[in-house]
């Protein structure tokens, strides 16, 4: 009986919205889950729009109801239900065919127009194969949508040079919470442009983005070196991100790992391919429970003489103070380098840990607090590892546009810390609840010790939490919400605002 009623409601919905795309109220379970696997909120229906017009119709339809909400879902790779709409409408944005709509020359340089629901991996392969160009700023993993990362920031080893992905778009098409389709940029509707970038989906749904590109290199030399001392690791990493372009690598990241032979948390996680051997002697050379790996990469072209590449690499590495005999390197083509996490994804899917819960925690920690963070968190709370990577690397604030909605800690340099926990359903390991509790313990330790930090991909359950997160930007954020989504229809899964009746 209920099913019949649901069918009837759905039919009416479909007619009222007059969609060119489709609406599905049966196979909706996927949209009530996400990569985090910590929350479940099934929607009433999932809409697959054929374009901006459909998205506008869905929003206008929801506006007429007293309580319907609308969530754009990119690839659902959030951790805390951010792309869900409990009993609301989820718009499934993922559209591989939108990967590259157009190649454009703009005042700011070459760019591509891409759909908000395009996956970055498709943008990469199409851009390189069709134009020989590539976006400048990436995330580590590319199975994420353009709209999903632009709603947060989008960071990786290129961020020190080009800024986050939000600093590498010059124009957006957005359907706002009033159902209006608006083109915006620095020079046109700039308030909407900057609020949507890093805006956690609160002000509108990104349907198209103009992404800056540059000629793509063919090849990459990918290198890892190890440090026993955190201050030497940070000194070298900070020096690399502040040098002039020709005097540094094209990619700079790093991670902390456990000084043990554990295959996931320890030394073996540093090796770049199975042919590389690790030496048990490494372990006894440092008494520290945790060591640090600096990860860098240099772009080059197939025509470049290998001795020239070797010389450049040696010159750049020669200025660094890593532990002797801990240099690991491989050469691979540019696309394979950018798709490097896809291989890990395949393995994780095969052994069941990709689909298990991921209680991840991401933070931006200011340079002034990072040593305390190392002492309190890496060397104490996490000294046995987390069953996955513990990324830590510096980025420069000057590459971030402070007019966007992203909030950062103080200082010119701050660190991204990403605790990418994997849980193994087939092995005895701490419960997900314990891991979430450990995340809280880390945040509490940071607060108690006065560390300067902000959550990245933030998640709070109370308005007070959000107010503290945004600090003096909160009133501006609220003002933008009342302007562009006055009924608070959009992105309810972020739990920032409540739907106005």
Q: What is the DSSP letter of 119?
A: B
152 is a site residue for ligand FAD (CB under 6 A): yes
Nearer residue to ligand FAD within complex by CB, 128 or 491 = 491
Nearer residue to ligand FAD within complex by CB, 59 or 491 = 491
191 catalytic per annotation: no
Say which residue the tokens 């302007």 belong to.
483
Task: Of 69, 73, 29, give the one whose Cα is nearest residue 49.
Answer: 73
d(CA 400, CA 216): 23
Q: Which residues pair with 211 in a beta bridge?
A: 112, 169
d(CA 268, CA 481): 47
Task: Of 295, 253, 256, give the one whose Cα is nearest residue 158.
Answer: 253
Q: How far is the CB of 392 from ligand FAD (least distance, A)?
A: 13
Q: Which of 24, 140, 262, 478 binds ligand FAD (CB under 6 A)?
A: 140
Residue partners of 10: CB distance under 8 A and separation at least 6? 23, 25, 45
253 catalytic per annotation: yes
Q: Which of 13, 62, 93, 313 binds ligand FAD (CB under 6 A)?
A: 93
Q: How far is the CB of 445 from ligand FAD (least distance, A)?
A: 23
Q: How far is the CB of 202 from ligand FAD (least distance, A)?
A: 8
Q: How far is the CB of 56 from ligand FAD (least distance, A)?
A: 13
How long, in residues, is the chain? 501
Nearer residue to ligand FAD within complex by CB, 10 or 420 = 420
Nearer residue to ligand FAD within complex by CB, 145 or 366 = 145
Q: What is the DSSP letter of 473?
A: G
d(CA 411, CA 408): 9
Looking at 65-73, 239-247, 252-260, 306-314, which segment touches ligand FAD (CB under 6 A)? 65-73
d(CA 270, CA 262): 11
Residues 183-222 that bind ligand FAD (CB under 6 A): 200-201, 205-206
113 catalytic per annotation: no
Q: Which of 57, 80, 82, 228 binds ligand FAD (CB under 6 A)?
A: 82
90 is a site residue for ligand FAD (CB under 6 A): no
Nearer residue to ligand FAD within complex by CB, 152 or 326 = 152
Among 253, 295, 452, 485, which one carries the catalytic annotation? Answer: 253
Among 34, 54, 77, 236, which one carries the catalytic annotation? Answer: 77
Looking at 14-22, 56-64, 154-162, 323-331, which segment touches ligand FAD (CB under 6 A)? 154-162
d(CA 153, CA 392): 17
**Contact in structure between 359 and 435 (CB atoms under 8 Å):** yes
341: tokens are: 């996490």
Residue partners of 22: CB distance under 8 A and separation at least 6? 47, 48
Catalytic annotation, residues: 77, 140, 253
Point out which residues bind ligand FAD (CB under 6 A): 35, 71-78, 82-83, 93, 116, 139-141, 144-145, 147-149, 151-156, 200-201, 205-206, 457, 491, 493-494
């Amino acid at each position: 009986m209920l099913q019949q009623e649901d069918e009837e409601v759905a039919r009416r919905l479909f007619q009222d919205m007059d969609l060119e795309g489709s609406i599905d109220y049966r196979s909706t379970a996927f949209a009530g889950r996400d990569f985090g696997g910590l929350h479940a909120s099934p929607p009433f229906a999932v809409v697959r729009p054929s374009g901006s017009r459909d998205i506008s119709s869905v929003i206008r339809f929801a506006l007429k109801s007293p309580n319907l909400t609308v969530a754009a879902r990119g690839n659902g790779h959030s951790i805390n239900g951010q792309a869900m709409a409990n009993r609301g409408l989820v718009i499934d944005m993922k559209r591989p065919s939108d990967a590259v709509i157009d190649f454009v020359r703009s005042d700011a340089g070459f760019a591509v127009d891409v759909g908000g629901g395009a996956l970055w991996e498709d943008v990469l392969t199409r851009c390189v194969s069709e134009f020989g160009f590539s976006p400048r700023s990436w995330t580590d993993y590319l199975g994420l949508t353009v709209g999903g990362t632009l709603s947060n920031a989008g960071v990786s080893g290129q961020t020190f040079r080009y800024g986050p992905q939000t600093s590498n778009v010059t124009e957006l098409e957005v359907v706002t919470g009033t159902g209006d389709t608006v083109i915006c940029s620095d020079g046109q509707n700039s308030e909407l442009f900057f609020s949507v970038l890093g805006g956690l989906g609160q002000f509108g749904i990104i349907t198209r983005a103009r992404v800056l590109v540059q000629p793509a290199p063919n090849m990459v030399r990918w290198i890892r070196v190890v440090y026993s001392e955190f201050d030497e690791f940070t000194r070298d990493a900070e020096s690399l991100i502040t040098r002039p372009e020709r005097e540094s690598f094209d990619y700079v990241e790093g991670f902390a790992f456990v000084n043990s032979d554990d295959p996931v948390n320890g030394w073996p996680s540093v090796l770049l391919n199975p042919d590389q051997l690790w030496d048990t002697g490494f372990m006894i050379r440092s008494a520290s429970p945790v060591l640090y790996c600096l990860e860098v990469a240099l772009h080059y072209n197939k025509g470049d003489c290998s001795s020239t590449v070797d010389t450049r690499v040696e010159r750049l590495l020669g200025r660094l103070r890593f532990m002797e005999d801990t240099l690991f390197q491989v050469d691979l083509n540019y696309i394979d380098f950018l798709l490097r996490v896809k291989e890990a994804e395949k393995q994780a899917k095969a052994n069941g840990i990709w689909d298990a819960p991921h209680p991840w925690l991401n933070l931006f920690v200011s340079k002034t607090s990072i040593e305390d963070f190392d002492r309190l968190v890496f060397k104490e709370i996490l000294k046995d590892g987390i069953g996955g990577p513990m990324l830590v690397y510096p980025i420069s604030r000057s590459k971030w546009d402070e007019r966007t909605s992203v909030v950062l800690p103080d200082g010119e340099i701050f660190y991204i810390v990403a605790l990418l926990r994997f849980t193994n359903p087939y092995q005895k390991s701490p419960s997900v609840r314990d891991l979430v509790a450990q995340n809280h313990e880390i945040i509490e330790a940071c607060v108690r010790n006065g560390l300067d930090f902000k959550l990245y991909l933030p998640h709070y359950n109370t308005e007070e939490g959000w107010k503290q997160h945004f600090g003096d930007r909160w009133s501006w954020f609220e003002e933008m919400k009342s302007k562009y989504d006055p009924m608070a229809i959009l992105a309810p899964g972020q739990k920032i605002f409540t739907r106005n009746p």
